Amino acid sequence: MAYEYPSMPAYEIVSDTLDSSIKKGVCIIEGYVREGSGTILPVATVSNVDGTRKTKTNATGHYYLKLTSEDTSVFVYHVKYGEIVIPDYDFKSQHRVVINFYFEKKAEGNQNVKKPVIYLYNETAMRVSVSLDHPGMTFTYPKKEKSWELLITNGNELTDVVTGKKYPYLFWEAKTSGLEYEKKDGIIYGYMASSEDVVNTLEHVLTAAGLNERESTDFITFWAPQLIESSYVFMQFVTQDIYAEKIAPINVSPEPDSQLRLFMYYTPLNSPEEFGNWQQQEEFTPLVRTGFTLIEWGGAAIETIVQ
């Protein structure tokens, strides 16, 4: 059964069979990642929704990954092509699923707003509604119609009031265009890091902004493997009003007492000289968390640099 989306990549589920040799509670997926023309794509990342189980394609474009029967989504990412998402599939216990993925070349100017995740915190149980507006929305988890309707319990556990399922955070992705680095007095501010310094730079920035250990770990384990694929990377972090204006406005009811929305623009580089003129970004003032708190982070590649 094949799934295709207009102007988007596609995947094909070749087979889904019971295999009693597989451990109970485990589902194995395997297959190939290729360009639509048939060109094999090594070093593509295949993972579950939170990146806790992931692998990369080998020199022939083949991958092999163990999921659990609780996983419902699969992500495939390639630095030159973007991302393919299987948003909802029943990965049954002791099943072997063969899935092939086919990338189209990204349209010029097309950008992926990748893995914005939203954490919600409150000391006492409370009902909340969260909605955000982006015309290019491609995936949400849990699935969102007009809004997410949630119950916060145990400080940060989110329960979908419709399905009763529990989630550690909300997840969304979208396609957009026209994202550019923010400038101040005509100057781009940010951070330049070699592949060896990426993790240290991220740890410094995220701590300074006010992310806690869990949020920083989620950010770094998702982004660092992609950022270190190039020799250098330039990063700029935007927050709050710019996030709402350039990425997506958000509406939360009741309104949070404190919130931080942090978004990373980045450009992979072979050398720092490729980027041109820039200056070090100013240090953040750490968020002071009080009462009902919202934390959100995401990122997107900026391929065309306008100096």
> Could you tell me whether strands 293-301 and 258-269 are parallel, antiparallel, or unpaired per DSSP bridges?
parallel
Question: Is the pLDDT score of 65 beyond 90?
Answer: yes
> Could you tell me whether strands 95-103 and 258-269 are parallel, antiparallel, or unpaired per DSSP bridges?
unpaired
- Average pLDDT over the chain, rounded to an integer: 89
Handedness of CA 219, 222, 226, 231 (dihedral sign): positive
Question: Is the pLDDT score of 210 beyond 80?
Answer: yes
Structure confidence by residue, pLDDT tens digits, 133-146: 887 888 888 988 88
Mean per-residue pLDDT, 277-299: 94
Structure confidence by residue, pLDDT tens digits, 9-52: 589 999 999 999 999 999 999 999 998 777 889 888 999 887 88
Structure tokens at 131: 């909605």
Distances (CA, A) of 57 to 34, 45, 111: 10, 7, 23
Mean per-residue pLDDT, 256-279: 93
This prediction's pTM: 0.74
Q: Rounded to whole angstroms, how far apart are CA atoms 130 and 137?
A: 15
